[in-house]
Amino acid sequence: MRHTGQVLITCCLLIILSLESLASSESQIRLKFLKKKEERKKKAWKKVFSQIFAKNIKRELSINGKERDPLPLTYQSLYYNPEDFPTLFSKIGESESTIQAFESRERLLSKPKRFRYLLRHSIPSFKFNRGARNLIKSYNRYYKRDSNQINPQNFFENPLGQRLMHELKDTLFIVLSGFGSHLIDEAPFQSVLQEINRYYGRNLPNGSRPIYYPLPAENRFQPHELFYNVDQKQIKMDIVYPMGSEWGDTLGPHAMNAEKLNKWISSLPEIYKEKEIVFIGYSKGLTVALELLKKDLDLQKRTRAVFSLSGPQQGSLSLQLILKDLMKVTGTSSNEDLYKLLTDQNLKTFLADLKINYESKNQNEYHKLLEVLYKIEMGHLPETLLDKVSSFLSEDSLSIFKGAIEQSPTYRAKWNLENLNDSVFKFPLTIFSTSFITNVKDFFHKFDSSSNTYKFNNEIVPKIRPDLFKKVNIEWSSYDFGNDLVKNINQFVDWKRFSMDSFLLHLTSLAAFERSPYGMMDTQVTWPDSKSFFLDPRPLKAQFTENEISRIYDKLNLNWDKPHFDEFNNAPRNKLIPEEFRKNLKFIDLGEVRGSHWSIPFTQAIRIPNSHPMLSFKNQFPRKEFLLSIIQTYALYKKENN
């Protein structure tokens, strides 16, 4: 009896245990299933965004009376493959030579068959919830509409525009431009911004932020408090953007930019105070947005998403390479600075006292100071030295160097590790990444939508005017120097067919292309560096030397146990911070578009000051379609995650 009893008890225990384990394995299975579903959904956003972009291109072509095959323009503006970034990166990495890598990437990302699929088929809705499905249906209806039923002048007057206005009525998009943008009079993706401004009756008929010439840069634009304080229509969804120096010297340090941006946002009209915020950060705009959110909890609470458009989330390789020659870029009194530094005995004493081994033997005092500044930023030297260093440099030089150092890959790696976690970001936030990839051949040979043919136009070599030997008439007026200069140059060279942007970008990025993974970059930011830290499977040693990694490791300030150095060096970086410490953050990859760092957002980044845009080369890219795709994707995402 006793034995029977023991057996029975044992059996019961076994049954209970197995039930429990079944339950726990079931919950584990369920968790795994949900996780996989989540991963699949994340991948799906890339397809959704790419398809919306392709369809927008097709829609715009049809509206503008160009009932032509949208495939060539789509092919030239988009790179698409349904696989995720780690898979694609690995596939391209199988190449042995530079040419194989180029061919491999074009084959993987530029297959006409895939683009035709995206253009031809409706956006599938079965993976989404009911709300999102309804919204997708409205997108599909819009794309099928007759072009006569679409308002070509203003997207927001159209049914889909209205629908988006309604769906996102509590959303404020803030578009932030990049490094050096305070020197450019054009906002990124300006055409959409103009349309929404016109919709709300701001600065009609043009719709852009009024510029007051010839006032200095700081005060050049009409104050935003005035510009956005127009109440012709009820403000629903809106897109706002700082211009000029409204968020400070964009070459300068992030802390300063973030502070000024915060003030800018706070001083927007009352109607915007309660709206949810979505940052659309192009280039440095992204890193400034993250810096701002890190510091301001109230803003964090309001912010739902950040879109990174070629943001240097993991640094800018180009900027790192020109860091040491930055004094030439600034064009300020740098030569004077240098002369003073070379003869400054106090500086020599200061540097000698620091007793550091400088990296290169032939560095002059300027370079040494820069290295000291870099070490302070990375935490290897005490911050108290900053004042002393500042005393040797002009304000401009110091500001620019700090700004540039903060864009370097080593700095960003440290920043990402220390800040992309729940102790800093206390509220849910989704970071979307869109990468730009340049096919440099596009500078010479591209599809021209106006003539519907491929054209060979070398836009980086100026063309001499054939009628040069006719009478040349050089004229100057006292009030219109910019336009006069362009007109005079135009008599010698076909200025409209020469792209200063492409010329400068390419010339200054040759070294960066050589050092970028498989040559994939947009002339400023490499492909993997434009992805969030946690979307990148590369170990740190794939990008940094051991010395650089130990510099990051030594001064890393984490809220959890630092991994061993070996693990830190060799493990995939997206595993370096355990997921349980970053539950508030979601990272979604929206894929890649084709163009250069400047040609995608701007018609002209570099233009002779005060000259009319029509007199210079215009970069071609479907900008309106691109920004609208971002907004449409966000609307869907919001619906899906409500």
Residues that bind other proteins (CB under 8 A): 93, 95-103, 106, 362, 440-441, 443-445, 454, 456, 458, 460-461, 463-469, 506, 510, 513-520, 538, 541-545
Q: Which is nearer to other proteins, 30 or 441 (CB)?
A: 441
Q: Select 24 or 570, whichever has its Cβ closest to other proteins.
A: 570
CB 328 → other proteins: shortest distance, Å? 19
CA-based diameter of the chain, in Å? 122
Instruction: Identify whether the C-beta of residue 222 lies closer than 8 Å to the C-beta of residue 209.
Output: yes
Q: Give CA–CA dist 625/55, Å, rounded.
A: 9
Q: Which is nearer to other proteins, 388 or 465 (CB)?
A: 465
Q: How far is the CB of 379 from other proteins (least distance, A)?
A: 23
Q: Shortest distance, CB of residue 469 to other proteins, whole angstroms?
A: 5
79: tokens are: 């790179």
Distance, in Å, from the CA atom of 281 to the CA atom of 197, rounded to the nearest integer, reads 19
We find the least distance from the C-beta atom of residue 28 to other proteins, in angstroms, to be 36
End-to-end Cα spacing for the chain: 61
Nearest residue (CB) to other proteins, 440 versus 558:
440
- Residue closer to other proteins by CB (options 253, 519) is 519
Enclosing H/E stretch for 402? helix 395-405
- Which residue, 122 or 488, is less far from other proteins as judged by CB? 488
Quote the least distance from Cβ 260 to other proteins, whole Å.
36
- Rounded Cα distance between 573 and 532, Å, is 11
- Of residues 101 and 593, the one with the C-beta less far from other proteins: 101
- What is the closest distance, in whole angstroms, from the C-beta atom of residue 633 to other proteins in the complex? 30
Question: Helix 365-377 crosses helix 334-342 at what angle (to 10 degrees)?
Answer: 100
Q: How far is the CB of 99 from other proteins (least distance, A)?
A: 5
Could you tell me the smallest distance in angstroms from the CB atom of residue 118 to other proteins?
A: 20
b/e map 43-79, b = 16+ CB within 10 Å: bbbbbbbbbbbbbbbbbbbbbeeeeeebbbbbbbbbb
Which H/E stretch holds residue 29?
A: helix 2-63
* Pairing state between β 276-282 and 171-176: parallel
What's the Cα-to-Cα distance from 203 to each of 194, 215, 234, 430, rounded to whole Å?
A: 9, 19, 16, 33
To other proteins, the closest distance from the beta carbon of 515 in angstroms equals 5
Write down the least CB distance from residue 12 to other proteins, Å.
58
Residue 573, SS3 per DSSP: helix
In this complex, which beta carbon is closest to other proteins, that of residue 35 or of residue 515?
515
Closest CB to other proteins among 295 and 465? 465
Nearest to other proteins of 54, 101 (CB atom): 101
Distances 365 to 327, 360, 374, 393 between C-alpha atoms, Å:
13, 12, 14, 11
Q: Prior bond to 124 cis, omega within 30? A: no
For other proteins, the closer of residues 190 and 310 by Cβ is 310
The helix-helix angle for 190-199 and 623-640 (nearest 10°) equals: 70
Strand partners, 430: 305, 586
Nearer to other proteins, 75 or 221 (CB): 75
49 touches 588 (CB < 8 A): no
**Which value, to the nearest 10 degrees, does the dihedral of the CA atoms of residues 34, 35, 37, 43 take?**
160
Alpha carbon distance 399, 52 (integer Å): 40
Q: Which residues contact 591 (CB under 8 A, 6 or more apart)?
A: 46, 49, 50, 79, 80, 434, 435
Choice between 100 and 129, CB closer to other proteins: 100
- Token match 């249906």: residue? 137
C-beta neighbour count of 561 within 10 angstroms: 7
Strands 238-240, 171-176: pairing kind = parallel
Q: What one-character-per-residue DSSP string does 467-525 give?
A: TTTS-------SS-HHHHHHHHHHTTB-GGG--HHHHHHHHTTHHHHHHSGGG-B-SSS
- Minimum CB separation of residue 510 from other proteins in Å reads 7
HSE, side-chain direction, 13 A CA sphere, residue 392? 26
Least distance between other proteins and beta carbon 106 (Å): 8
188 vs 409, beta carbon nearer other proteins:
409
CB of 626 to other proteins, least distance (A): 24
Min. distance of Cβ 457 from other proteins in angstroms? 8
Question: At residue 601, what is the residue type?
Answer: P
C-alpha–C-alpha distance, residues 300 and 292, integer Å:
9
